[in-house]
Amino acid sequence: MKKRISLGRRNFLVRAAQLSGLLFLAGCENLSRKPWFEGFLSSAEGVTRRVQRAITPRRAMAREYTEADLSADFPVNGSTNPDTEEYVALAANQFADWQLEVSGLVEQPTDFSLAELRQFPSRTQITRHDCVEGWSAIGKWKGVPLSLILEKVRPKADARYVVFHAADPDESGNYYYESIDFEDAYHPQTILAYDLNDRPLPIGNGAPLRLRVERQLGYKMAKYIMQIELVDRLDPIAGGKGGYWEDQGYEWYAGI
Amino acid sequence: MEEPNKKEEASPDATPEEGLSAPIPSEENRIAPLPPDRRWRFRHPLFVRLGHWLNVLCLPILLMSGFQIFNAHPALYWGERSDRDRPLLAMKAVRTENGEMRGVTTLFGHAFDTTGLFGASRNEAGALYRRGFPEWMTLPAHQWLSMGRRWHFFFAWIFVLNGVIFAFFSLARRHLWLDLLPKKEDLRRIGAAILDHLRFRHPAGEEAAHYNVLQKIAYTSVVFVLAPLIVLTGLTMSPDIDAAFPGLLTLSGGRQSARTIHFIAAFAFIGYTVVHLLMVAITGLRNNLRSMVTGWYLLPKSGAEDEETN
């Protein structure tokens, strides 16, 4: 029996498929620019955070590795040198004049010098850093557990977030900052690191002090920390989303 | 193109069990009149059709937003770390001696010029620039990692929930057992089935009322192997999930391995989809599309082609 393949129909189908593909893409592209749609897509973040928090034990530890697993070079990413007058002066003096100001909703606001931070009991951990871009690196971090600092300054009852203010501004003069909640702040692997691979933290990696929150992506781990502020809400700070990258559209919850 | 007159006359002689499904919603349970040379079967229950079309929506979005995410660091590695001097695959842009930009893709150390496609492709103005996958393959089109992640995770949730609902109904209504899992006699005929497929001879008549053995193997492995694999390797890229379930890291061989497997699984989905669409087209595009929309499938006549099947 003769096959009745109509070229016209076939062409029509191919064109229709191409057209619907184009419309689909244009539609997606268009939707990406609509704030309400971004809000709609972002609803997944809350679901992800709640579900991950529900199935992750509070004290679940990120995997720790051995010296043999260390990356040959720990990549330097994001801002690599805060070129401000203040920072350059501090770095010139090996950060001897640097002070970490811990303030906000705390009973006892305190300034810590680098030497004082090094006198606290320290924690050393060899962990994997997962960048939001997709690469991973393994480094050996030594620092003071954030929980020890918090015990010292005694958070007030209404404090909910720990905000890290950094020394590096972008071209528009917005300073880098980040925030975590208390669940992450009191996690044993959350440390204020001053050493990387047994040496003082290099400037490229955030000297003199950077945050390590091992169960989140790299952009949460603020470098060049100058001030820690305890707050009850994030919306009055900078762009209001709880961090420099969050203000640019990244998720506040960076557990995935 | 006559459509079945299925709502008006009920015919008692085709029972639901003959079709592909278990119980059928009552309205659809009415069977069309059977012309002497045609037989209708109710082939796809509602949960199969809904799940299928949701996947049609999710997969391209997941794929293209996945390419967007990949483009932030267009290289793949094995193990826990990404040692940049030892990628399994990398898409790079290089400058030739005369200053011209070229896209170079390296795979296991072999370099290929992929200018215009991978490594360097053209923007709207027609200029080559550094880019893993080209704009027309990524969602959004230009480099916008955070928006790519938003699309990816939102539709990943839809895809996962859809899969869980599908798995539930497949078990509860014995779809997995009755229709999807190959039986012993199916497997015995597998050689013949492969030969028939290669000769473009497809089941007709009553035989076409059920998935053939190759369909069963393909669908079962996509739904119950490939989809869980891509979800699990996706979760292994989450530092939080890794802390809670370190076994995932061990299973995949590391975080970067998980990323690589996730990427390969995405291409397995593309490969599956290409073959699937080809089979849909050559075994009767209209008939297949209609059955995936309405559930009703017209059994192809043996030894003859009619306009419904091309």
Q: What is the mean pLDDT of residues B7-11?
A: 39
Let me know the angle formed at the C-alpha of B238 by B235 and B241, rounded to the nearest 5 degrees. 75
Interatomic CA distance for residues B63 and B61, integer angstroms: 5
| CB-CB neighbors (< 8 A) of A256 in chain B | 153, 235, 237-241
Residue A13 has pLDDT above 90, yes or no: no
Return the bridge partners of B122, or none: B128
Whether B9 shows a pLDDT value over 60: the answer reads no
Output phi, psi for A229, to 5 deg.
-125, 130
Q: Which of B64, B76, B139, B150 to mutate to test the interface with A (most CBs of A within 10 A)?
A: B150
Tell me, what DSSP letter sits at residue B237? Answer: T
B7 is written with which tokens? 């709502």
Does the beta carbon of B124 lie under 8 angstroms from any beta carbon of chain A?
Answer: no
B60 contact A CB<8A: yes
* Mean pLDDT of the region B260-288: 96
How large is the ipTM?
0.92
Identify which of B64, B82, B242 has the shortest CB distance to residue A135.
Answer: B82
- pLDDT band at residue B301 using 50, 70 and 90 as cut-offs: confident
CA distances for B134 relative to A89, B71, B217, angstroms = 44, 9, 34
pLDDT digits (tens, 9 = 90+) for B79-92: 999 999 999 999 99
Determine the Cα–Cα distance for residues B298 and B3; give it in Å rounded to an integer.
10
Burial class (CB in 10 A: 0-12, 13-18, 19+), A172: exposed
Instruction: Closest CB to A71: pick one of B81, B136, B237.
Output: B81
Q: Do B243 and A250 touch (CB under 8 A)?
A: no
Q: Are B258 and B80 contacting, i.e. CB atoms less than 8 angstroms apart?
A: no
B124, B240, B251, B306: best to mutate for the A interface, most A CBs within 10 A: B240
Q: Given this model, what pLDDT does residue A18 score?
A: 77
Across residues B105-116, what is the average pLDDT?
A: 96
A7 pLDDT band, cuts 50/70/90, is low
Question: For residue B180, which of B20, B47, B24 has the smallest C-alpha distance?
Answer: B20
Separation in Å, CA of A116 to nearest CA in chain B = 31
Residue B25 predicted with pLDDT over 90: no
The reply to whether A142 touches chain B by the CB within 8 Å rule is: no
Of residues A4, A43, A72, nearest to B310 (C-beta): A4
At residue B73, the 3 state secondary structure works out as coil
Q: Which residues have C-beta within 8 Å of that of residue A126, sequence separation ≥ 6?
A: A64, A65, A66, A67, A69, A70, A138, A139, A140, A141
Q: What pTM was computed for the model? A: 0.89
Q: Looking at residue B302, what is its pLDDT?
A: 66
DSSP track, chain A: ------HHHHHHHHHHHHHHHHHHHHHHHHHHT-HHHHHHHHHHHHHHHHHHHHHS-TTPPPPB--GGG--SS----S------HHHHHHHHTTTTT-EEEEEESBSS-EEEEHHHHHHS--EEEEEEEE-TTS-EEEEEEEEEEHHHHHHHH-B-TT--EEEEEEEEE-TT-PEEEEEEEHHHHTSTT-EEEEEETTEEPPGGGTTT-EEE-TTS-GGGS-SSEEEEEEES-STTSTTSSSSHHHHTT--S----
pLDDT score, position B31: 54
Report the mean per-residue pLDDT for chain A.
94
Least confident of A28-32, B6-10, B34-38, B64-68: B6-10
Return the structure tokens found at B168. Answer: 């539930």
Give the one of A25, A47, A217 whose C-beta lies nearest to B239's C-beta.
A217
Please indicate whether, in this complex, the C-beta atoms of A69 and B83 are within 8 angstroms of each other.
Answer: no
Half-sphere exposure of B86 (CA within 13 A, CB side): 10
The answer to whether B243 faces chain A, any CB pair under 8 Å, is: yes
Please give the DSSP secondary-structure letter assigned to residue B205. Answer: G
Which residues of B are less than 8 Å from A27 in CB distance?
none
Shortest distance between the Cα of B263 and any Cα of chain A, in A, equals 12
CA distance B256 to B231: 15
Name the burial class of residue A247, with classes exposed (0-12), middle (13-18) and buried (19+) by CB atoms within 10 angstroms of its CB. middle
Which of A127-136, B9-18, B186-195 is the least confident region? B9-18
A56 in B contact zone (CB under 8 Å): yes
Q: Are B241 and A56 in contact (CB under 8 A)?
A: yes
Query: B286 touching A, CB under 8 A?
Result: no
Q: Give dist(CA A96, CA A208) in Å, integer.
A: 10
The size of the A-B interface in CB pairs under 8 A is 135
